[in-house]
Structure 1
Amino acid sequence: MNDEPSSVLVLTNPYDVTADVVLCLLAERRVSVVRLDPGTDLHTGASLTAVYRAGDQRGTLRTPSRELDLTRVRSVWVRRPSPHKGPPGLDGQDRRFAAEQSHWGAGGILASLPGAHYVNHPWSNRAAEYKPAQLAAAQRSGFLVPETLITNNESDVRDFAARARGSVVYKPVWNTQYRLDDQPYSVWVREVRAHEVTHAVAVCPHLFQAKVDKAFDVRVTAVGDRLFGTRIDSPDLDWRYRQDLIRCTPTSVPEPVAHSIAAYLAALRLTFGAFDFAVTADGSWYFLECNPNGQWAWQPDDITGSIADALADQLQKGSGP
């Protein structure tokens, strides 16, 4: 019998200060933790080996300071690992080849550890990031969902905007990195009127949604069956636009919404989810999106601390009951 204590494997980049909050808690609990950024560390001294044979699967992760038996990983926290770009000493197609082999090879090993509890599994994360999949799962889970159109057809957008009872908003289906004059640029949620729609819609699918006449926003951070609600009051349609102007206060989550959150997490095989809602004056909660790997440490200290504790609990318990 192997008496070596099992470890938590954290996959994230070295600049992830949010992860540090949870790692400090695990250290206080004397839980063994190995931190790895596979997209970069496997080119700077770390190695990963996996062996598959009849009735057996084994593997070893070696870093400059640690050697980890992959059968002794209790939990894997998939936070914010760097993308696989290949060794910096290679160029062109050689670097691209190495990057893709790393993505499919190392990524496949780390996503298939026997008995490990994933928060969240990387494949579940990826599947849950598709906005159309989110909207479909939200409807099936019983959430109120604003009427939404995703299309690259200009006339369909004009018809949608024309028949809308109120305003229509546009939001990207993916947060693509964008630069203007070599400066980072974000595409925020904004109102759109029918006369503003042009043939540029045909370039790619666009997401248009009936604007919710909200009184405030709510972020609900779900960790397993524990929910942490934060009311967000902002002067902007998209509260992320000027985050320094928002006011955050703890809020409770209505029971029907909590039931829908549990159904949504189960449907998409998630342990963690950052849910955004628009709440109207009459108390209706409209589902906007769920980021399966959303940031959470920007919230008030008491909420941030509670979320960190809940994540540490998940990682410490592993796949046990």
Structure 2
Amino acid sequence: MSDPRPVLVVTSLHDPTADVVIRELHDRGVPVVRLDSGDFPASLSVEAHITEHGLHGRLHTPSRTADLANVRALYYRRPTQFAFPSLDEQDAKFAITQARYGLGGVLARLPGCLYVNHPHRIGDAEFKPAGLVTAADAGFLVPPTLITSSPDAARQFITAHSSVIYKPLHNPPYRVDGVSSVVKVAEVSAADIDDDVAGTAHLFQERVPKATDVRVTVIGSEIFCVRIDSDLLDWRTDYSRLTYTPVEAPPGIRAALHRYMNRFRLVFGAFDFAVDHEGRWWFLECNPSGQWYWLEPETGLPMCAALADLLERKT
């Protein structure tokens, strides 16, 4: 007899990766309830009861209803933010806070649910300083890194290393002349540093003299490694110039990956490594909600099946 418990997929309406996973689950006969928390309360509603027996109740979308006590797994992707455009600024802030701690609190404590990943664990793992420290503790090689708001400290760090790059600590939505953009990774010199550095926190990191990049996607106990060859400092700036080759992770890397995942209590992670000319893998970052599906058609690696197995709770 098939398991009637649904998988909740929490993401925005336009999410091609979620579409692929949902299609795979449908083909397996696994019930799916898709929702965007940003639709609350306009077209998404919740009634959650908390008693001595725990949490129970229902979540309603325009086309589906989920029993909160019987959710098999929750796949947390990229939902939109809560918004209350009909309210004034003060009331909207209040309503957003209530929605976050109300609906968000319910979704974060579903009984017996497997989270891929839990939204609180995603939040923890998105802090780059925490990720770098955890990576070093897990056994990865980590490039020397400075996080500072001091122009003098930045200049001293750059002078002390042969080549240094600047990275944003996080990339929020950013618009230049009305066009969506991101702050790019770039090489910097001491002469580039001025007093504006004092305006906020910045991340400077010694540049790894890399031979290639590797993207590692960890899905439960499965590890998928893809070598990415290009002539780019940051391969994400131009996908048309990339070539892909499946590779195996060295034994030490595999063990460190699992240690890192366990420290943050993640079951999914998209890791980026720079591999130097001696073959050493240098940890750059782990995105707990990173993109992965574009690699499957390029390599044939069965990542979608592995993720569906996880959400179906076969693994």
Name the residue aligned to 2:155. 158
Residue 80, structure 1, aligned to residue 78, structure 2: yes
Residue 30 of structure 1 aligns to which amino acid in structure 2? G
1:274-313 matches, within 5 Å, as 274-301=270-297, 303=299, 306-313=302-309
1:219-230 matches, within 5 Å, as 219-230=215-226
Per-residue deviation at 1:25? 0.8
Per-residue deviation at 1:44? 2.9
Residue 102 of structure 1 aligns to which amino acid in structure 2? A
DSSP-derived class of the 1:49 partner: strand
Per-residue deviation at 1:4? 7.7
* Matching residue within 98, 120, 123 for 1:123: 120
User: Are the equivalent residues in 1 in contact too, given 2:244–2:299 (CA < 8 A)?
Assistant: no
Q: Name the TM-score, length of structure 1 as normaliser.
A: 0.94
Distance 1:133-1:188 versus aligned 2 partners, 3 A rule? same
User: Are the equivalent residues in 2 in contact too, given 1:71–1:114 (CA < 8 A)?
Assistant: yes
Name the residue aligned to 1:92. 89
Per-residue deviation at 1:316? 0.3
DSSP-derived class of the 1:161 partner: helix
User: Are the equivalent residues in 2 in contact too, given 1:249–1:300 (CA < 8 A)?
Assistant: no
Which string of whole-angstrom CA distances, capped at 9 and with x for unpartnered residues, describes residues 175-222 of structure 1? 122222122222111111111111111111100000000000000000
DSSP-derived class of the 1:201 partner: helix
Name the residue aligned to 1:170. 166
Per-residue deviation at 1:94? 2.1
Residue 67, structure 1, aligned to residue 65, structure 2: yes
Per-residue deviation at 1:59? 1.8
Looking at structure 2, the residues matched to 262 and 312 of structure 1 have their Cα atoms a distance apart, in angstroms, of: 20
Name the residue aligned to 2:16. 17
Looking at structure 2, the residues matched to 304 and 18 of structure 1 have their Cα atoms a distance apart, in angstroms, of: 16
Name the residue aligned to 2:51. 53
Looking at structure 2, the residues matched to 302 and 238 of structure 1 have their Cα atoms a distance apart, in angstroms, of: 19
Distance 1:201-1:62 versus aligned 2 partners, 3 A rule? same
Per-residue deviation at 1:155? 0.8
User: Are the equivalent residues in 2 in contact too, given 1:168–1:191 (CA < 8 A)?
Assistant: yes
Unmatched runs of 5 consecutive residues or more in structure 2: none
User: Are the equivalent residues in 2 in contact too, given 1:296–1:304 (CA < 8 A)?
Assistant: no
Residue 33, structure 1, aligned to residue 29, structure 2: no
DSSP-derived class of the 1:240 partner: helix
Distance 1:302-1:188 versus aligned 2 partners, 3 A rule? closer
Moved more, 187-196 or 177-186: 177-186
Name the residue aligned to 1:109. 106
User: Are the equivalent residues in 2 in contact too, given 1:298–1:304 (CA < 8 A)?
Assistant: no
Looking at structure 2, the residues matched to 147 and 141 of structure 1 have their Cα atoms a distance apart, in angstroms, of: 16
* Matching residue within 143, 147, 150 for 2:144: 147
Residue 63 of structure 1 aligns to which amino acid in structure 2? T
Moved more, 42-51 or 107-116: 42-51
Distance 1:300-1:117 versus aligned 2 partners, 3 A rule? closer
User: Are the equivalent residues in 2 in contact too, given 1:146–1:212 (CA < 8 A)?
Assistant: yes
1:179-190 matches, within 5 Å, as 179-190=175-186
Distance 1:68-1:285 versus aligned 2 partners, 3 A rule? same
Distance 1:38-1:305 versus aligned 2 partners, 3 A rule? farther
* Matching residue within 203, 206, 210 for 1:207: 203
Per-residue deviation at 1:90? 2.6
Per-residue deviation at 1:304? 6.6
Residue 10 of structure 1 aligns to which amino acid in structure 2? V
- The total of aligned residue pairs comes to 314
Per-residue deviation at 1:89? 2.8
